[in-house]
A and B are shown apart, each in its own frame.
Chain A
Amino acid sequence: MTPMKLARSIGVPLLAVAVFLAFWEWLVWFNGWPRFKMAAPSDLPPAFERHWSLFLSMGWQTLWRTVVGLILAVIFGTILGMIMGFSRIMRDALYPLLVGFNAIPKATVVPIVALMFVGQHDFNTVLLAFMISFFPIAVSVSIGLSTLEPEYRDILRSLGASQATIFWKIALPKTLPEFFGALKVAVTLAFIGTNLMEIVSPHGRGLGALFDSGRTNSDFPLMFAVLIALAFLGIVLYYIVVALEKIFAGWAERAPG
């Protein structure tokens, strides 16, 4: 990339962000909104500064619970997807259950989980992050496996390969692009799950709880600062998945042209 192009590829998005922030700042100033009604971008750095240690400790709580929930979703979703991908009967049996479960808005599950496992905050949060994010993974793995062209199996089966060998050598790698596509969706969903639990069932942990304490005090700068922190964590997690995808399924990306 030439320096000119580089400057443009960085400069244009930066400029867009600056214009957006300026408009936001102007909107608050123009309407004369006080801080208990709306926060301006200039209010955010002081808010971060004031609560910095809280942001660090609660951000970490949100992050690790999301990641653990996501890892569980990957394990469970992959196993479920394999079962549905290999067995027609299991697919017919499990699919309606899965769709029904997925159709329930997870916000309604929060009180149930919170009541069932009262006091076990970490467990509750991880559970909700898991419940909300395993669906796309299970579906993508099952579709990837069940749509494997029969010739791919035949190539190895005609040589006497076992089902396990066919799975490791062909079915699994061939499903990876679909799997990572689903993981990108799941990582965002898991994050939503964690925050739902932290906000709806406040127990003083995680960025969701910090947000909630801002809400009770009408502390708009704090609430917006939490939103920015959440966006930052979400972006970091998303790009970790993108990096993993490049490593393990980079072959699926075709050279342009």
Chain B
Amino acid sequence: MTNLIEIKNVRHAYRTDAGPLPVLDGLEISVPEGGFVAVVGPSGCGKSTLTRLIAGLMKPDEGEVWLHGERVKGPRSTVGMAFQNPVLLEWRTILKNVLLPLEIVPTKLTRAQAEERARFLLSLVGLEGFEDKRPSELSGGMRQRASLCRALIHQPDVLILDEPFGALDAFTREDLWQTMHKVKEREPFTGVLITHDLRESIFLADQVVVLSGRPARTQYVLDVPSTGPRTLDDLYTPAAVEQLAILRHQIQIAQGRATPEDSPA
């Protein structure tokens, strides 16, 4: 078993006043080391619950989550997270925001080394010169870039991205997609990306997992073969168009608006 993330037959239900509300039911996902998996599915199908399970912020009712061959029982410092809301601390400069995880996680880096690494990450995402600005002085896209640096500063094994580009405009989003590829080249990580955007999923990930409607189980897995560095033009090739058609069809099935017998397109 060489998979870095292994989600085995996970079931989870939220307790509500009206009784248990099952959100995940028999979920199976595995991500090899260095892999990047995108998870798509209808709204409210439990995608965010999945991120909290991997991060160890929650325990599943049934089933197991494994990271690096170890069963996840609680939070661990080898995880980096970024959300749709960049949640930067307004009272800190961008540089100090990026350094925050190193104040929690034990690190071998000296203060100067840590700062150097933060500056390197910031320059990697195109935020050179903004180190001493406050979050309120940055645009939404720039804040998201800074949030990405914070998720990476402690060199996590696993990067969990919960719709990080969801609130951005289309141009900024495509910009950040390309940034993600650049970052992954220099700072390899194993990633799980939750997204609503099918184009984003095939542009960034090498495997797309489609979840069914609530309670979510693994409905479909699409491999996105990689043929060298991706560019935005790749999204308009026949192969990409076909992948998108398959995914769209699968989402419709998950929403109950189509059956597997319908032809995708």
Contact = CB atoms under 8 A, between A and B. Distances in A.
B76 interface: yes
A151 interface: yes
B87 interface: yes
A37 to B, nearest CB: 55
Given A165-B104, A251-B134, A254-B136, A160 B87 contact: no
A151 B87 contact: yes
Interface string B117-151: 00000000000000000101100000000000010
Interface in B27-62: 52, 55-57
Given A173-B91, A251-B90, A254-B136, A154 B77 contact: no
A169 B102 CA distance: 13
A158 B89 contact: no
B105 A154 contact: no
A249 B89 CA distance: 12
DSSP majority for the B interface?
A: loop
B75 A157 contact: yes
Contact of A159 (B52, B89, B101, B134): B101
A31 to B, nearest CB: 55
B55 A158 contact: yes
B90 A252 contact: yes
Contact of A156 (B52, B74, B83, B104): B104
Nearest to A156: B104
Contacts of A156: 100, 104
Interface residues of A, number: 22
Contacts of A251: 90-91, 134, 136
A161 interface: yes
Given A160-B76, A255-B137, A149 B87 contact: yes
A152 interface: yes
A233 interface: no
Interface in A192-223: none
B89 A170 contact: yes
Chain B residues touching A, range: 20 to 34
B137 A159 contact: no
Contacts, number: 60
Nearest to A254: B136
A165 B91 CA distance: 16
Nearest to A155: B87
Nearest to A173: B91
A159 B154 contact: yes
Contacts of B5: none
Nearest to B103: A169
B79 interface: yes
A251 B94 CA distance: 13
A159 B77 contact: yes
A152 B104 contact: no
Query: In this complex, which of B55, B91, B137 has the most chain A Cβ atoms within 10 angstroms of its Cβ?
Result: B91
B134 A160 contact: no
B81 interface: yes
Nearest to A251: B91
Contact of B85 (A151, A161, A169): A151
B90 A154 contact: no
Counting from the closest, the 4 A-B pairs by CB-CB distance are A251-B91, A158-B55, A159-B104, A151-B87
Interface of A: 149, 151-152, 154-161, 165, 169-170, 173-174, 176, 249, 251-252, 254-255
6 contacts: A154-B52, A157-B75, A158-B56, A158-B79, A159-B104, A169-B89
